[in-house]
Structures are given as C-alpha cells and as structure tokens.
Structure 1
C-alpha cells in the first residue's frame, strides 16, 4: 500500500490532530538540533542520517512509544530496537527529547568514558535496547522480542528501525518470513530508505526495488510514505495499529527520506554517509534548520 503524499487529500485536520502534528514536528526539530550539537563535538559523524530520520524518530518517541523516562527497564514498556547502530546520534537525540537522558549529556557524544558512543551500545546507554550492527540482525532480534512478549502475555509492542541497506542481508528476509509465520501483530518495522550506503547509492550496490512488493509477498501489511512528512507518518502508524488489531499481521512502514533533511547545506553534500563538516559551518547549519522550521510554522 502506498499512501498519497498530497496533504490536501487528507483534508483539514481537527484541532486535536493539528496539536498532535505540531507536537511531533516540534520534537523532530529539537532532535535535529541536538544531532547538530552532538556532531559538532566530533566535527564529523553520521549527522546526515540523524537529520533524515528525525521525523521517524519523533513520531515514535513523541507519539507512539509507551515508556517511562525515569525507568528505562520498566517491564511494561514498548521496545524500540535500533538495528542501525551508526544512527545512534539520532537515537540519543530522541532519548534526550524524551527525557531518558539529560540534554546536557549529549555534549559527551563519542568521547572517552561517555555513555553515548558513536555506535549504539545497550550496555552503555539507558533506553538503548540492543547494540545495533553488524547490520541485518535487528529484525531477527525484534521477532524474538515480539514472540517473547506474546508468550509472557504482555501487550507491549516492538518497533524496529532498519535501513534500506539492511535489506541486502538475507537474515532480514528470514526474520520477515518468521514474523509473518508467527503472526506478530505486535511488531512494526520502519525502514529508512535514503538510497545511500557506505559503498555508494543503494541501487548500485544491490538493487532492492520493488521493495514494497517484496514486503507484501512476505505477508506484511506494507505502507510506503514520505518519511520526512510527519502527517503521513502519523497516518501510517495509525493504519498499522488498526491493521494489527484486525488481522494480526506484522506491519512495515517504508520511509523515503533525504539525508541531511532540514539543513540545505548538507542535503546535497557528496560523501554524505559519514559527514565531515567544517568548524565554521555548524552554526550556519543550525541557522538554516531554525529558519526552515520557523518558516514552516508561520505558514
């Protein structure tokens, strides 16, 4: 299923929907801002992915996920599994926005003895459920977690964040087959399709299209949306929840995103998988981000 991206087709939102949209868009802006601040600590990093995935992370943490910020190990929590460990910079920003880690701690990103290493480690960081990477293992862990929660009689959900590059891995598709076999309606996967891998553009490394049809063939309820459109993401998650309740099938939301989203200076930068940003550019990035957000809010 491919959702239309024409906002007019969704009609004028109600006051409740408008407030929901505003809340999540605000969270996405702050996640991007946090990511830029963290990136400046090292002068480089996976900043582009964090900016591109910020809307996805904001929808999960500001709207979908059931958790207790002061008790990351709460048994009743929903599980968010970051399969792509190098996206940790974005996840830390989301955890700070959620109140699980202090915003001031973000200044230690990637530093010695920090709880916030450049690649996510569950043993270090509150709220980090798994140590992501090598890539391709996250969905397998998510399937096991969802199945285990079912056996425990828990109504907690599992959300698994994957990258389009992970669709190159056979283990991902084995897990997808297992999730459908076990009818894991408590599992939602989201795939960041930014068309870029460390070795180059995704379609030149290993073409995965037609990816929507592949997931559908594996029995998942499948939606493809603009992953930088918060309204479209919220609608997709609502649809996923409704379908899970009705059919018991696992859901996947395929999210087309743009690396560096929200900062024009970075959106078309070459070698964007691991960005090196000059010292004088960081403040310009923040200014562009703020101007774009304020301009959107004013419309």
Structure 2
C-alpha cells in the first residue's frame, strides 16, 4: 500500500473513532484528500525530527478534524498504531481536538478561529528569518463566522505573507446546521480576493486538482497570501454519512462501523 492513501486514511479514522467511542467523523472525512495530498507531495518535513527548524508548518485550525491529521502522522512514523487505537481513552495522549503537545501538531485548536492567527505568525516569522518555509493553515467554512479569522486575513495581506496558504474546507455544514442556515458565507473565493489574497476554488476530493492547487500556490511569490477554497462533502466516502450532519456528533456502534468499513472495501 502506498503511503498517504485516502481510502486507508478513512479506514484508520473509523477504527480510531470506534475504539475511542468518539465523534467528529464527518468533519474528518471531508479533509482526507486535502491532508493526504499535502503530506504526500508538498509538506516539507524531516521524517526523523518533527521539530526541525526548517520544516513547513501544517496548522489545523479546524481542530475537530484532527483524526485525519493523526492518521497522517502515523504514516510519517511520528505516532504509532497503539497511539491511534488508544485514541480518546483514559491515559491516551491523543485528545479529540488538535493538541500542540503531539509531534507534528503545530497548534492547540478546538476553540475555533485562532489557529489561522497562529499560522500568520509562523509565516511572518519565516519571512523575517528569510527562509523559504511555507505555512499551510486549514480552516472550516463554519469557522469563517469567527471575527479572528478576518483579523488574521488582514494581517496576512498587510505583511505580504505569500508563504501562507489558507485551505478552506467548504463542506457546507457546521455543528448546529448548514453554513447557509447559521450564517451564510456567500462567495468565499471572492471574499478572500477582496481582502488581497490570491484565491482559487477546487474540488476538495479530486486529488489531481488538490495537488495542482498546492503546486501553484507554493510557487506563486507575488506578495499575496493564498487561499484554496475546497468544495467538499461532510462524511465523504461513506454513503450514510455524506452530507448527514448527525455524524458531527454521532458515535459508531459495531453495526455502523462494519457497514462503513464495507463501503470502503475493508472488513473488520
């Protein structure tokens, strides 16, 4: 099996969620391709040293999708299978939200909105140090309700942080409903463009499109921060989870775990 295979990552997420009797499966599934392609082809890290001073930064501002990142960190060898199977259990070091104490996790996130601000700081530090490091910051579309996001966007434009690549997981849902019902966002790409970003919209599950977007944005050194608006499906990959917002907080049982694995071509 190739490293960073999206189908395998989804299997790992299901096993983690089942083992830990925990939630946030749908919002982890919507970012699988975004993270697998990033880790596989673009994020510059030292596999022997998660804290390498020359690393690129991956800031998961959407901290409730952290199971996807944990699965990728196992692929790097920074987490073990035992870590994942003990996810969310008593004594586990893996919490249900992103935690900066874990190797490879740059920001403690879960209280939404602040991760992007940390990412802009990392990008500014790299600029001041005159390195070629990139900072990738993944936010949810519901997270764009937070004012701190737009303060960070203004900051990034002012300081010409063209080494900052914001990835918006536009799955159309947040915890309590659809984004249109809670607070309509309008044209997200147009908003980022109006704030001075170079922005594009892609299919967030088309790995070729995701790969091309990362390649374009990391090579574009035009003084503009970047935004990739990724249209995605919450719960992508399992039919009874897709666009079904109950899977933001619903836990797997033995039957739904087996049914989900079967749809991925896996067995228990």
TM over 0.5: yes
Q: CA deviation at 1:52?
A: 1.4
Q: Which one of the candidate residues 189, 212, 231 is aligned to 2:189?
A: 212
Unaligned runs of 5+ in 1: 1-21, 292-299
Quote how far apart the aligned CAs of 1:268 are: 4.5
Q: Give the Cα–Cα distance (whole angstroms) in 2 for the partners of residues 188 and 270 of structure 1.
A: 28
How many aligned positions are there? 266
| Structure 2, gaps ≥5 residues long | none
Does the Cα contact within 8 Å between 1:49 and 1:87 map onto a contact in 2?
yes
> Moved runs in structure 1, 4+ residues, more than 2 A?
275-278
- For residue 216 of structure 1, give the secondary structure of its aligned residue in structure 2: helix
The secondary structure found in structure 2 opposite 1:44 is coil
Question: Contact 1:84–1:133 (CA<8 Å) still a contact in 2?
Answer: yes
Q: SS at 1:266's partner residue? A: coil
Q: Secondary structure at the match of 2:166?
A: strand
1:68 paired with 2:40, answer no
TM-score (norm: length of structure 2): 0.94
Q: Which residue of 2 aligns with 1:276?
A: 251
State the secondary structure of the residue aligned to 1:253.
strand
Q: Does 1:146 align with 2:128?
A: no
- Paired with 1:58 and 1:274, the residues of 2 have a C-alpha distance of 24
- Counterpart residue number, 2:226: 251
Contact 1:122 1:128 in 2 (8 A): yes
Distance in 1 (CA, whole Å) between partners of 2:183 and 2:160 is: 29
Q: What is the CA–CA distance in structure 2 between the aligned matches of 1:270 and 1:164, rounded to whole Å? A: 14
- Find 1:195's aligned residue among 166, 172, 190: 172
CA shift for structure 1 position 171: 1.1
In the alignment, structure 1 residue 28 sits paired with structure 2 residue 6 = yes
Separation in 2, partners of 1:287, 1:274 = 21
1:264 is matched with which residue? 239
Deviation at 1:270, TM superposition (A): 4.5
TM norm structure 1: 0.85
* Among 37, 57, 66, the residue aligned to 1:88: 66
Q: 1:69 to 1:101 in 2, by over 3 A?
A: farther
